[in-house]
A and B are shown apart, each in its own frame.
Chain A
Amino acid sequence: DAGITQSPRYKITETGRQVTLMCHQTWSHSYMFWYRQDLGHGLRLIYYSAAADITDKGEVPDGYVVSRSKTENFPLTLESATRSQTSVYFCASMDSGANVLTFGAGSRLTVL
């Protein structure tokens, strides 16, 4: 299916565990982004990538790791999850010639 896919859609984990959220897009867009959405804070940028093997920090990068070995994939890893990382995570992509973000459906993560 064409588009941007996030998995898992729902995840419950425990404090200290490693969690990886996956993001896959089928358009070959250059840019990919990870946002988290929390009540009272709106959407905040965690990390972004301008192309394969190029990543950079956003507004709230602490506790997260990203990689982009292939253009279509942009996984987000929480190396040691904390309760404050309970949130809804959105992946988005954008073509280099445009400026419109297309979002995935989101991954709801609960850290107990």
Chain B
Amino acid sequence: EDQVTQSPEALRLQEGESSSLNCSYTVSGLRGLFWYRQDPGKGPEFLFTLYSAGEEKEKERLKATLTKKESFLHITAPKPEDSATYLCAVQAVRVQGAQKLVFGQGTRLTINP
């Protein structure tokens, strides 16, 4: 069974204080690992897709990396507007069936000014 575990559950940082969020996964053949951002009262919004170990993607202050067992979302010099819940999801290789994603519980990030 595909599983995704995110840590920590919540993280509070000062503006400019860099840190990382962790996503550990177990999947029988990884098709893709996804990072989403979710603001309160809204649906998740796509950030990155990573496909293979060693791959990295960047967007503004965010950088996502991938190993064979986990992914990290690095946040460099964050600003208050980076406050959100960050969700990680995996998509397994399937011969048949829809390309379903399995989500972790998310990390709630708060950046204090």
Which A residues are closer than 8 A to B by beta carbons? 31, 33, 35, 40-45, 48-50, 56, 58, 90, 92, 94, 99-106
With A58-B100, A94-B99 already in contact, the answer to whether A43 and B44 are too (CB < 8 A) is yes
Residues of A within 8 A of B36 (CB): 101
Distance of A92 Cα from B99 Cα, bound (Å):
12
Residues of B within 8 A of A92 (CB): 43
Map CB proximity to A onto B84-113 as digits: 1 under 8 Å, 0 otherwise.
000101010000011111111110000000
B42 pairs with A105, CB closer than 8 A: yes
Question: 19 new A-B pairs (CB below 8 Å) besides A42-B106, A43-B89?
Answer: A31-B99, A42-B87, A43-B44, A43-B87, A45-B100, A58-B100, A90-B43, A90-B44, A92-B43, A94-B99, A99-B91, A101-B34, A101-B36, A101-B101, A102-B46, A105-B41, A105-B42, A105-B43, A106-B41
What are 7 pairs between A and B in contact, CB < 8 Å? A40-B105, A42-B105, A42-B106, A43-B44, A92-B43, A99-B31, A101-B46
Distance of A103 Cα from B106 Cα, bound (Å):
16
Shortest Cβ distance from B104 into A: residue: A42
Residues of B within 8 A of A105 (CB): 41-43
A103–chain B nearest beta-carbon distance, Å: 3
B22 proximal to A (CB < 8 A) = no
B31–chain A nearest beta-carbon distance, Å: 7
Distance of A93 Cα from B101 Cα, bound (Å):
12
Residues of A within 8 A of B34 (CB): 99-101
Distance of A92 Cα from B87 Cα, bound (Å):
15
Residues of B within 8 A of A44 (CB): 103
